[in-house]
């Protein structure tokens, strides 16, 4: 039976993860803050509570401009290039924002330029909103993020 390293739970920015050894990760599945659209601390309180994390102590990126957000993504992908082993994958989930006028996967695709990743594809999931979303006043294709967009990378 193969031995697996113990799980590691860290609360730092994805741009600098010194506790993760270089080339030690086979798969990263991540979803960065979508510009300044979502209040992540408020929306993730239950998850943080279960993990024993004080949400007030976690730095969460808030970027108002596309350029600032894309720079954060570039820095994150640079760090992922360090920790992902050759032959590993990154699934980078984003959405469309600003009423569908800004497709964040395009910024992610550009941010990977020159990094040791092969950009494989973008998978788009068009979703039907649930009763819960309707309670918050979000209707299909009217507000919120209407699609999930996963940019897939292969570490060469």
| Three-state secondary structure of the chain | CCCCCCCCCCCCCCCCCCCCCCCCEEEEEECCCCCCCCCHHHHCHHHHHHHCCCHHHCCCCCCCCHHHHHHHHHHHHHHHHHHEEEEEEEEEEEEEECCCCEEHHHHHHHHCCCCCEEEEEEEEEECCCCHHHHHCCCCCCCCCCCEEEEEEEEEC
Where is average pLDDT lowest: 22-31, 39-48, 135-144? 135-144
Q: What is the pTM of this model?
A: 0.82
> pLDDT tens digits, residue range 139-152?
555 555 667 889 99
Q: Per-domain residue ranges for the chain? A: 25-30+66-155
Check residue 33 and give its pLDDT: 80
The pLDDT value given to residue 132:
47
Dihedral sign of CA atoms 91, 93, 96, 98 in order: negative
Query: Higher confidence at residue 128 or residue 138?
Result: 128
Q: How confident is the model at residue 131 (pLDDT cuts 50, 70, 90)?
A: very low
The domain 25-30+66-155: what is its CATH number? 3.40.50.150
- Average model confidence (pLDDT) across the chain: 83
The pLDDT score that the predictor gives to residue 31 is: 87
32-50 mean pLDDT: 72
The whole-number pLDDT of residue 133 equals 54
Higher-confidence residue: 71 or 31?
71
């Amino acid at each position: 039976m193969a031995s697996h390293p113990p799980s590691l739970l860290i609360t730092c920015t994805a741009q600098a993860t010194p506790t993760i050894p270089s080339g030690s990760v086979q798969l990263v599945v991540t979803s960065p803050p979508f510009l300044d659209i979502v209040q992540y601390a408020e929306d993730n309180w239950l998850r943080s509570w279960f993990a024993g994390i004080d949400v007030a102590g976690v730095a969460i990126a808030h970027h108002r401009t596309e350029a600032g957000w894309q720079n954060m993504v570039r820095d994150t992908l640079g760090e992922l290039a360090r920790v992902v082993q050759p032959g590993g994958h990154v699934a980078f989930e984003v959405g469309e924002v600003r009423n569908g006028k800004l497709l964040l996967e395009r910024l992610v695709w550009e941010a990977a330029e020159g990094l040791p990743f092969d950009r494989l594809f973008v998978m788009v999931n068009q979703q039907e909103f649930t009763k819960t979303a309707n309670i918050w006043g979000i209707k299909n294709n009217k507000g919120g993020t209407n699609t999930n967009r996963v940019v897939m990378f292969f570490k060469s």
